[in-house]
Every structure is written in C-alpha cells, then in structure tokens.
Amino acid sequence: MYVLVTNDDGVQSPGLLALRQALDAVAETVVVAPERNWSAASAARTLFDPLRIDPVPMADGREAFVCSGTPGDCVALALLGFLPRRPDLVVSGVNIGANLGNDVSYSGTVAAAREGTMMGVPAIAVSLDGRRHDDFGPAAAFAAKLAVAAVEHRLTPEVVINVNVPNTPIRGVAITRLGRRVYRDELVIRHDPRGRPYYWLGGGEPEGDMREGTDTAAVANGYISVTPVHFDLTNHRWLDQLQQWRLDV
Ligand code: MN
C-alpha cells in the first residue's frame, strides 16, 4: 500500500508526525504538506502564484515535502505528477481539533481528502478533538487500522471517510451521520495604535448536537466517530419545491 499523507495544520504539526509514523507500520508513505497552517481554508487552491515544493526533515528525521500552497494544492500537485506513482489512498490529518457536522464545510483537513477523491484516489480525513500538546497516538493508530480496512474493502472515491477521535478514554467506534455544530461566533472590534478599527471573527468552542447517531454525539460520548461524507450538495427535496415556482422564461 502506498499512501499520500497530508494535513492542513502545516508540515510541522505533531498530528501529521503521529499519523505518518502510524501509517509507516502498514504502508509506504510520502508526506506532502503545506508550510503553514491553513485551518478553515476549506478547498482553497492557488491560481495566480507559482507553487514551490521542497524536501524538509520532520521531527523524527524522516523526509517530507513541504509545499508553498494550500492543502488542496498539496494533494493536486502530488497526484498530478510530483509523486512517482499513484497512491492507493490519501490520508489527511491528524488535525488539531475536531471536524464535526458543519465543520466539514470549513475544514482544510477534509478538503485535502476530498481533493484526493476528485482525482480518483480514495481518501480519509482524521481529526482529534484536542489541542496541540495532546496525544495524537490513538487517533493515528486508528487511522492506520482504517487505512488497511479501506484498501481491503476497496473504498471508492465517491466518499470521504471523516474520522473524529475523542480526547478522552475511547469507548468504541461509532458509524455516524453529520450532526449540527452550534457556533458561538462573535465580532470583536478593537483599535490599532493609529486609531483605526480592526476586527476579529471568532468565539468560544462550538457546541454539538446530541441526537443519537450523529458524529457530534458520538465524540462527546467517548466514541471514535466514522462518517462517510460526499459532496453532492443538492437538496433533493427542494428540486420539487423549486419546480412550483414556475420560473420559466
Ligand atoms: Mn487544522
């Protein structure tokens, strides 16, 4: 098995290192990751600047490739010819912080995996519901186990497997649907030393939907959440509704 490993937190993330080390036990790996943190950049791609890619040692001395572009650029560049051959799988993560429910539309971690599937390579995204200094080992170990299962069961690129691992003792694995994230975004207005206002978008940690079967509830209850997601955003119920609007010209 040959696996492309990437992330959105940047090549020096401890989550990427843990993921690479766990996957090394079951696969040949290559890392192509962004040089800086692109969290919440979703599927951004660079259209108007050249891209650079350079070898760089990871914290354990193994070689990785660092790319000047976004997570999506990393995967596209790797699959369009930088890699000597096509990988069997793209694994993105381990992200620092959960990507649950609506988070997947912001997530660079999930977008990097999706970029793989758009190019025909099956993909997995893995996130830890934790912070930078937490232990990424259990999430990385589960990712390696899932990678083996994905190849064995012939995972197809019609789906991205989105995994979220709790940062508490793990009680099991739950196959879930996306829940709803309740963001507490707020606008903070401050003034710079010249008196001009600047704005900071953000807020506290989002809350999750506790309905049974959701990824948000699973992680809150101590389960590793495994959600198959796809990116047909069509609202099928509204196809009929819009027909009633009689918009013909
Ligand atoms: Mn991130």
Query: pLDDT tens digits, residue range 162-183?
Result: 999 999 999 999 999 999 988 8
- ∠ CA(106), CA(47), CA(42), 5° rounding? 5
Task: Indicate the pTM of the whole model.
Answer: 0.95
Q: Which tokens sit at 101?
A: 């429910």
Distance between CA 53 and CA 69 in Å, rounded? 9
9 Cα to the center of ligand 1, angstroms: 4
Position 126 confidence tier, pLDDT thresholds 50, 70, 90 = very high
101 Cα to the center of ligand 1, angstroms: 15
241 Cα to the center of ligand 1, angstroms: 37
14 Cα to the center of ligand 1, angstroms: 12
pLDDT of the residue at 182: 86
89 Cα to the center of ligand 1, angstroms: 20
Identify whether the C-beta of residue 173 lies closer than 8 Å to the C-beta of residue 137.
Answer: no
Q: Which tokens sit at 242?
A: 């819009």
237 Cα to the center of ligand 1, angstroms: 33
CA neighbor of 219 nearest in space, from 183, 176, 159, 185: 176
- The amino acid that residue 69 corresponds to is G
* Helix (H), strand (E) counts: the chain: 7, 11
Residue 249's CB is within 10 A of a number of other CB atoms, namely 2
- Percent above pLDDT 70 for the chain: 100
The mean pLDDT of 83-92, rounded to a whole number, is 98
pLDDT digits (tens, 9 = 90+) for 202-231: 878 888 889 999 999 999 999 999 999 998
16 Cα to the center of ligand 1, angstroms: 10
**Backbone angles phi and psi of 163, in degrees to 5:** -110, 135
Identify whether the C-beta of residue 145 lies closer than 8 Å to the C-beta of residue 83.
Answer: no
Distance between CA 152 and CA 160 in Å, rounded? 16
Residue 95's CB is within 10 A of a number of other CB atoms, namely 32
pLDDT of the residue at 204: 83
Distance between CA 39 and CA 23 in Å, rounded? 22
Distance between CA 88 and CA 71 in Å, rounded? 18
